[in-house]
């Protein structure tokens, strides 16, 4: 059998089909997660989060979230914390929703609070701090890296 253009074109097309089939099998096995189950419903609340974040940044002393010696330290300025205030801190891991954690926040009289992060997976998270004080809602989102 003599090799000619027809065999070459056929071999190239079969190789292309095999590569595409391999890619489709690989893509079907990849885990694809949305950020949340109700992604589109939460999108409607986005403007509300922006307003809460602007209020938090307009405080005389903005809130902070930082990793310090194996603990996640949260600082809420005393001016934005009343006696009836309530808050929660959510550690959101974009790459794996099973690693997400939510903690209640109870700062001391200086506005600081910390949580032990030794049991959490290492990597990049988004710290989402949301609190209500004197009927006013605030929101802060900062990237953190847990070593």
Q: Which residue has the higher pLDDT, 107 or 60?
A: 60
* pTM for this prediction: 0.67
- Cα 75 to chain center, whole Å? 20
DSSP string, 65-108: EEEETTEEEEE--GGG--TT-EEEEEEE-TT-GGG-EEEE----
CA–CA gap between residue 106 and residue 88 (Å, rounded): 9
Tens-place pLDDT, residues 71-127: 888 888 877 777 778 888 899 888 877 888 898 887 777 778 888 888 888 889 999
d(CA 143, CA 123) in angstroms, rounded, equals: 11
Mean pLDDT (the chain) is 85
Identify the structural domains of the chain with CATH numbers, from first to last.
Answer: 45-146 (2.60.40.10)
Model pLDDT, residue 30: 81
Residue found by looking up tokens 């847990």 in the block:
146
């Amino acid at each position: 059998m003599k090799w000619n253009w027809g065999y070459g074109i056929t071999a190239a097309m079969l190789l292309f089909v095999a590569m595409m089939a391999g890619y489709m099998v690989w893509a079907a096995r990849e885990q694809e997660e949305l950020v949340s189950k109700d992604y589109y419903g939460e999108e409607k609340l986005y403007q509300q989060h922006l307003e809460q974040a602007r209020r938090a940044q307009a405080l005389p002393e903005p809130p902070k979230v930082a990793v310090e010696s194996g603990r996640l330290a949260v600082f809420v300025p005393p001016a934005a914390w009343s006696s009836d205030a309530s808050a929660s801190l959510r550690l959101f891991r974009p790459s794996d929703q099973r690693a997400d954690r939510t903690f209640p926040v109870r700062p001391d009289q200086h506005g600081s609070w910390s949580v032990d992060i030794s049991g959490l997976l290492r990597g990049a998270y988004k710290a989402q701090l949301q609190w209500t004080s004197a009927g006013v809602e605030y929101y802060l989102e900062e990237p953190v890296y847990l070593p």
